[in-house]
C-alpha cells in the first residue's frame, strides 16, 4: 500500500513540474487517500498484533 502511495506521489510531482496541474492534483489526491488508508491499516494491525501476543 505504501509503495502505491509513493508511486502516485512521484507521478504527481513529475506532472506538476511538467505543468500538468490537473493531473498533478488528481494524483496527489489519490496519494493522500492511499496514505490515510495505509495509516489506518497499520494502526489496526499494530494494536491487533499486540492484543494477540502473550
Tens of pLDDT, residue by residue over 1-54, are: 678 888 888 888 898 888 888 888 888 898 889 889 999 999 998 888 777 656
Number of domains in the chain: 1
Q: Which domain holds residue 48?
A: 2-52
Distance in angstroms (rounded) separating the CA atoms of residues 45 and 30: 22
Task: Provide the b/e sequence for 12-36 (b: ≥16 CB within 10 Å).
Answer: beebeeeeeeeebeebbebbeebbe
For position 54, what pLDDT does the model report?
A: 60
Cα 27 to chain center, whole Å?
A: 10
Which SS3 state, helix, strand or coil, does residue 9 take?
A: helix
For position 53, what pLDDT does the model report?
A: 57
Q: Could you tell me where the beta strands, DSSP code E, fall in 1-54?
A: none
Amino acid at each position: 500500500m505504501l509503495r502505491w502511495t509513493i508511486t502516485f506521489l512521484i507521478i504527481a510531482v513529475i506532472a506538476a513540474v511538467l505543468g500538468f496541474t490537473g493531473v498533478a492534483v488528481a494524483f496527489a489526491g489519490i496519494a493522500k487517500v492511499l496514505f490515510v488508508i495505509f495509516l489506518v491499516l497499520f494502526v489496526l494491525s499494530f494494536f491487533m498484533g499486540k492484543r494477540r501476543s502473550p
